[in-house]
């Protein structure tokens, strides 16, 4: 069986605002067009995976909760969900099998910020970023120091690696290292060798599923695990909140890139890249290729663009175009970049913009919005089509240069 790759629709820059709208790309629950203006305040905007948690956060906000509290009520949803393998508990680990989490937040009214990077064993790093903001003289803590600070502040240490994430990591490890998996001294070495030899003769995706079975991954989960091994996934949640009294906050949290080098931090903990809020202007956050977003200081760029008069949509598109500029518009490379921005202006105008329409055909990038009614809306994309997963599964000689 050959590996089915995502269809690539060659990139066409959008000339007109909202030209992706109206096409039946997503599930029925995704609104076909972005509204871009709140029906009323308060308003919450978040990445699509925040949708199930909007109601509880909105109720808190209506009851007078602080905007950062309300944003945390959204993002702790995926952090606490062991089945969301991109954030918090159950996040896919680094190359050594250790879950490392990143988060950052900004509180508009007090003009304060907090962030943590590469944190192990602490589930709710969104709350931890707020603790750094409230209870230290620093803005950013990383690694062991951040973990020790968390324990001092009463957080509980726990193993964040779920059984499903551990097995998927093992599958990656056994296929990316010569010395993992049964060796010559294994009593069943001949059978295993025979099985593996048969497996390597099959094409990649099928081979990975054979090995997944060997690792005890349930049949219904083997294809997904194999896919995650081939294309290290990312995933994150951002949330920005505007209260009825005009106060704003933003927060972003992630387990980052699967199988990353230990210590790798993406854009999420970088104030100004993964998250930025200015009480005078608005708030923005990011999900997607962290390394690319750091280089354009995406969230800060967007807020500054709004400060200088650009509407949220154009402010976000400009940040995306800076990523494009960093590659001189080279579509052979840009097709592997995935970037989405969530933008909320102080007056309730908002936008969700993405470099590509979605991850794959029929699965558009979305922004979750609550302004009295909760919904998912499609982002407006700079290029039409699906981003490609990295790394490409073809021999280097076949990669077009
Ligand atoms: N931006 C995150 C990171 O690079 C990943 C993501 O949003 O998917 O760590």
pLDDT in tens, 265-295: 999 999 999 999 999 999 999 999 999 999 9
Mean pLDDT along residues 336-357: 97
pLDDT at position 392 is 65
197 found inside a domain: no
Say if ligand 1 is within 6 A of residue 288 CB. yes
Least confident of 3-7, 214-218, 272-276: 3-7
**Of 211-215, 237-241, 315-319, which gets the smallest average pLDDT?**
211-215
**How many percent of the chain have pLDDT more than 90?**
71
**pLDDT value at residue 46:** 98
Check if 266 has its Cβ closer than 6 Å to any atom of ligand 1: yes
0.85 cut: is pTM over it?
yes
Please compute the mean of the pLDDT values over residues 239-246 and round it to a whole number: 98
Q: What is the domain extent for residue 42?
A: 30-160+233-394
pLDDT, tens only, 63-119: 999 999 999 999 999 999 999 999 999 999 999 999 999 999 999 999 999 999 999
Confirm or reject: Cβ of 283 under 6 Å from ligand 1: no
Torsion 279-132-161-177 (CA) sign: positive
pLDDT band at 389 (very low <50, low <70, confident <90, very high): confident
Q: How confident is the model at residue 202 (pLDDT cuts 50, 70, 90)?
A: low
Residue at 127 is within a domain: yes
Is 145 part of a structural domain of the chain? yes
Residue nearest to atom 4 of ligand 1 (CA): 290
User: What is the side-by-side order of every strand in the sheet holding 236-242?
Assistant: 30-31, 374-378, 366-370, 43-47, 236-242, 248-254, 101-107, 112-119, 140-142
Q: Is the CB of 357 under 6 A from ligand 1?
A: no
Here the CATH number for the domain that contains residue 376 is 3.60.20.30
Inside any domain, residue 116? yes
CB 364 near ligand 1, within 6 Å: no
Q: How confident is the model at residue 177 (pLDDT cuts 50, 70, 90)?
A: confident
Q: Is residue 184 part of a domain?
A: no
Confidence check: pLDDT of 56 > 90: yes
185 inside domain: no
What's the domain count of the chain? 1
* Structure confidence at residue 200 (pLDDT): 62
Determine the pLDDT at residue 125. 98
Residue 87: inside a domain, yes or no?
yes
Q: Flag whether 287 is in a domain.
A: yes
Q: Among 356, 322, 327, 325, which residue's Cα sits nearest to residue 340?
A: 356
In tens, the pLDDT along 10-19 reads 222 222 222 2
């Amino acid at each position: 069986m050959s590996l089915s790759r995502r269809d690539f629709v060659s990139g066409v820059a959008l000339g007109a605002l909202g030209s992706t709208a109206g096409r039946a790309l997503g599930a029925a629950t995704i609104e076909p067009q972005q509204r871009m203006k709140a029906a009323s305040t308060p308003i919450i905007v978040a990445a699509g995976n925040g949708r199930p948690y909007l109601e509880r956060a909105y109720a808190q906000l209506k009851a007078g909760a602080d905007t950062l509290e309300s944003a945390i009520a959204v993002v702790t949803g995926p952090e606490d969900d062991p089945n969301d393998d991109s954030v918090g508990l159950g996040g896919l680990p680094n190359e050594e099998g250790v879950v490392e989490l990143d988060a950052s937040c900004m509180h508009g009214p007090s003009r304060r910020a907090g962030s943590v990077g590469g944190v192990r064993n602490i589930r709710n790093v969104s709350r931890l970023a707020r603790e750094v903001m409230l209870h230290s003289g620093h803005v950013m803590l990383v690694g062991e120091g951040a973990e020790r600070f968390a324990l001092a502040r009463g957080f509980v240490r726990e193993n964040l690696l779920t059984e499903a994430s551990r097995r998927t990591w093992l599958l990656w490890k056994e296929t990316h290292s010569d010395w993992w998996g049964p060796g010559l001294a294994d009593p069943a070495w001949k059978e295993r060798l025979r099985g593996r030899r048969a497996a390597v003769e099959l094409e990649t995706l099928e081979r990975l599923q054979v090995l997944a079975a060997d690792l005890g991954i349930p049949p219904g989960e083997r294809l997904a695990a194999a896919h995650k091994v081939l294309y290290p996934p990312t995933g994150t949640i951002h949330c920005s909140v505007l209260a009825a009294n005009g106060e704003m906050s933003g927060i972003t949290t992630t387990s980052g890139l699967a199988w990353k080098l230990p210590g790798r931090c993406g854009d999420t903990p970088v104030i100004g890249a993964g998250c930025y809020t200015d009480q005078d202007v608005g708030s923005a956050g990011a999900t997607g290729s962290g390394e690319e977003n750091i280089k354009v200081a995406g969230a800060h760029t967007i807020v500054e663009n709004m400060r200088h008069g650009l509407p949220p949509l154009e402010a976000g598109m400009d940040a995306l175009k800076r990523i494009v500029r960093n590659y001189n518009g080279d579509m052979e490379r840009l097709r592997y970049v995935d970037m989405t921005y969530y933008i909320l202006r102080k007056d309730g105008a908002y936008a969700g913009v993405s470099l590509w329409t979605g991850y794959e055909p029929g699965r558009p990038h979305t922004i979750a919005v609550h302004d009295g009614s909760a919904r998912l809306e499609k982002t407006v994309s700079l290029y039409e089509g699906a981003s490609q997963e990295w790394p490409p599964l073809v021999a280097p000689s076949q990669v077009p240069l």
